[in-house]
Chains A and B, each alone.
Chain A
Amino acid sequence: MLPDYPKFKTLLGEILIERMKKVMLASQGFMGEVPRLRIFEGDTLSTIREDGTKEASKPETIGEEISWSFDEIENLEVNDVIKKIDEIAINMARKQSEFAFKEITEAVRKVGNEVDVKGEPLQPKHFFEMIRKIQMQFDVSGNPIYPSIVAGTKAFDAFRKMFDQLEEDPTLKKEYEELIERKRKEWHDRETSRTLVG
């Protein structure tokens, strides 16, 4: 065989994988903040909700391929490899996020939690509807833990505009505050319902 240097290559491989993980996490944005748990065995993931309903899904393999021609291989520099690793990491992160959002969308649809703006521009009434449909969390002092909004550039601008509108219009602002208050009450009711009776 040709001379080889496996010890160093293993070390370098570990460093590159570590970089890949970091880039993936950074490019996942919001999804990178979602807590994760490694599942070591099995082929089905199930969630049993508080109301006893069950949701099952199959894990999906997400992968990316690297291909280099023999000519390219012989001329590879460290920067080429890093560039490729980053590219793969970003693609993997995108695929992972897409898969997660696909799962979330399906689950949301199934329980009727979708809000359809029916082609209208985003308005406070749509946002209020969204808030109405979700379970909101509050901290121990009762302060709202606002949900994250994941949006594309266009939608993001629309949200920003809608928030400005909400801030400027006292009627809408009041309506929003009342909505948050209702959510606080729901949260409070939910927390106080954590009881063993009898």
Chain B
Amino acid sequence: MIEKLLERWLDKADERGFQGPFAYALTKQGYTVVHISRHCGMELGKDILAIDKEGQTWAYQLKAVGGGRLTLSKWRNEVQGQMQELALGKVVHPSIRNGSGHKSVLVLNGNLDEEVQRSIDDFNRAREEDGTNKKIEVIVKGQLFEMLKKMGQEFWPAEPADLNALLDLHINEGRGQFPKGSYSNAISSIMRSTLPDASRPSPRETAEQIFAGAIMSAMMLNGFTVNKNYLAEIEAWTLFFSHVLLIAERWNIDRHIWEPAVDLVSKTIFNLLENLSKEVEGSKTLSVGNPMTDFAVLRVRITHLVGLFSVLALWRKKEGNHDDDLNLFIRDFCKAKFQKMLLWGEYATPQFLSYYIYRRTIDGTLQNDQFLYVLINAILKKNLRQKNNKDAGLPTPYYGPEEFLPFMYGIGKLESEDSLLGGSYSLEGIFHLYVRRNWKNTVKLMWPDITRMVHYSFVPKYMWQFYLWRSKEGEHISKLPELTQQWDAVRRIADESAGNDIPILIKEYPELYLLLMMAMPHRLSSSGMRWVVSKLRF
């Protein structure tokens, strides 16, 4: 059944849809993928660049033909020029040795019309005759399907419940929020070494699970990819990344088995972030759909965008992209929009945290400290249990916007009868960041209220459970701060940045850590905040 589904999905996928699975298939065959396209105007002609085990460079151009045939007119009008340019031109990329030569491949989710085949044959014969041998190779649907079929087939869902979960996501229209809980359940049933009672996988089993997870994720994301729902795609691939790291760290898997997949998913997420920023750059408004209803979510959307773009800017900085137009756009966007950010719940805390980290790289003024101060006071104002506080309180990070907004606007109920006053999951961490800035007198003034709050946290029983959407094992801690403390002692805690409650591997990917915290805000801890702010200090 899954095979049929895979075939159907492949027929309907656009280039962006099957690019990821094809890149994973290359990785499975031992290729190192050095570039994957964002599918924007600038990158015509080479969607994937990869180097095989012998050091040969391969350049792939992907074309979606809806499972049908590439017609002569489409070939002539859209593809031929790109392919000839790809075959005859040079491939320039930092990871590819200059003048090393490359092979060019056209990849289709369909077949070639006979006339197109002849045209390619003619081109290739001419290259043989002129001695350059710069030919065009073609991978057609049947070959592509065979490649994808071998992607960890033994781990594909077989139980009806698992199949149902996959199908549910596969047929999701893909316009709304990504159902992260459902996806996590589905991906755990595929990447089985993440399950509580799993046993140590062999290297082969590990690789197969990762490939199965990748291809099934692409299928589950179908509707979201078609609709260019970049946030959903970013969240899904971030959760996939988290599951790969879980297996790697839990079972101490050799790096060469999982790292290519992590590199690939990082590139995918990076591209998606750039696509999202480009979409916003080209939009006249940040509003979506009917303004009569959209007004209620606009600031929630802006808050998330500022958080995501902040991570992108930090990431681009690390990649060496300093002063290009996109960086300038992100900087201007964040500067213009941050005042519209809305702390509607603790779910949004990682979005604020990301902006704070980015802001420090573009603004050297004391306003960065003021930003933290405002954030602390906002949480206290909303959540302190006191007589004159008429607020319902900020929801815990376990409540996403779709769950909380109806309650916030008084048109719906929370699933449980939570009292949101009196405590916070994120106050302590933000407070520590402020203490680091050494505003001793202000900190002393806010201290009484800090001690009036219960500081919540969740510590999974085993470190690897950090990567799970929900962990059945672990300790939910409610901490009442000691009333009198020494400034030096508080300062010492605030300065600590080892991130002792964060797993080892995620620390290699601080930008992805921020994205993971945005996808799973309930995993953000005080220690994590202190670590990431120290780590991303430029």
- Closest Cβ of chain A: how far from B302's Cβ, in Å? 27
Known: A48-B480, A195-B444. A36 touches B475 (CB 8 A): no
Nearest A residue to B419, CB-CB: A35
Residue A38 lies at the interface, judged by CB distance under 8 Å to chain B: yes
Residue A52 lies at the interface, judged by CB distance under 8 Å to chain B: yes
Residue A61 lies at the interface, judged by CB distance under 8 Å to chain B: no
Residue A45 lies at the interface, judged by CB distance under 8 Å to chain B: yes
Residue A4 lies at the interface, judged by CB distance under 8 Å to chain B: no
Task: List residues of chain B with CB within 8 A of the CB of A139.
Answer: 387
Complex CA gap A27/B487 in Å reads 47
Known: A21-B417, A35-B419, A41-B471. A194 touches B477 (CB 8 A): no
Task: List residues of chain A with CB within 8 A of the CB of B440.
Answer: 196
Complex CA gap A193/B484 in Å reads 6
Task: Summarize A's interface: helix, strand, loop or mixed.
Answer: loop
Task: List residues of chain A with CB within 8 A of the CB of B447.
Answer: 194-196
Question: Which residues between 475 and 523 of chain B lie within 8 Å of chain A, taking CB atoms?
Answer: 475-488, 490, 522
The 8 Å CB contact of B470, one of A38, A41, A44, A56, is A41
Residue B398 lies at the interface, judged by CB distance under 8 Å to chain A: yes
Residue A10 lies at the interface, judged by CB distance under 8 Å to chain B: no
Whether the Cβ atoms of B398 and A40 lie closer than 8 Å is yes
Question: Which residues between 395 and 414 of chain B lie within 8 Å of chain A, taking CB atoms?
Answer: 396, 398
Task: List residues of chain A with CB within 8 A of the CB of B279.
Answer: none
Interface size on A, residues (CB 8 A): 31
Task: List residues of chain A with CB within 8 A of the CB of B470.
Answer: 40-41
Whether the Cβ atoms of B485 and A196 lie closer than 8 Å is yes
Residue B53 lies at the interface, judged by CB distance under 8 Å to chain A: no
Q: Which of A39, A42, A45, A139 has the most C-beta atoms of chain B within 10 angstroms of its own C-beta?
A: A42
What bracket does the count of chain B residues touching chain A fall in?
A: 35 or more
Complex CA gap A49/B475 in Å reads 15
Task: List residues of chain B with CB within 8 A of the CB of A193.
Answer: 483-484
Whether the Cβ atoms of B476 and A46 lie closer than 8 Å is yes
Q: Mark A167-198, 1 if CB is under 8 A from B, else 0.
A: 00000000000000000000000110111111
- Closest Cβ of chain A: how far from B58's Cβ, in Å? 44
Whether the Cβ atoms of B484 and A195 lie closer than 8 Å is yes
- Closest Cβ of chain A: how far from B123's Cβ, in Å? 59
Nearest A residue to B486, CB-CB: A198
Residue A77 lies at the interface, judged by CB distance under 8 Å to chain B: no
- Closest Cβ of chain B: how far from A53's Cβ, in Å? 10
Complex CA gap A111/B419 in Å reads 27
Nearest B residue to A194, CB-CB: B448
- Closest Cβ of chain B: how far from A13's Cβ, in Å? 15
Residue A47 lies at the interface, judged by CB distance under 8 Å to chain B: yes
Known: A35-B419, A36-B417. A195 touches B488 (CB 8 A): no
Question: Which residues between 423 and 475 of chain B lie within 8 Å of chain A, taking CB atoms?
Answer: 423, 440, 443-444, 447-448, 451-452, 456, 458, 460-461, 470-475
Task: List residues of chain B with CB within 8 A of the CB of A116.
Answer: none
- Closest Cβ of chain B: how far from A81's Cβ, in Å? 22
Task: List residues of chain A with CB within 8 A of the CB of B482.
Answer: 50-52
Whether the Cβ atoms of B478 and A36 lie closer than 8 Å is no
Complex CA gap A195/B488 in Å reads 13
| 22 A–B contacts, CB within 8 A, in A order | A21-B417, A35-B385, A35-B419, A38-B415, A40-B398, A42-B476, A43-B461, A43-B473, A46-B475, A46-B478, A47-B477, A48-B480, A50-B483, A51-B482, A193-B483, A193-B484, A195-B484, A196-B447, A196-B486, A196-B487, A197-B484, A198-B486
Task: Name 19 extra pairs, CB < 8 A, besides A51-B482, A140-B387, A193-B483.
Answer: A35-B422, A36-B417, A36-B418, A37-B419, A41-B470, A41-B472, A44-B476, A45-B475, A46-B475, A46-B476, A46-B478, A47-B478, A194-B484, A196-B444, A196-B485, A196-B486, A196-B487, A197-B485, A197-B486
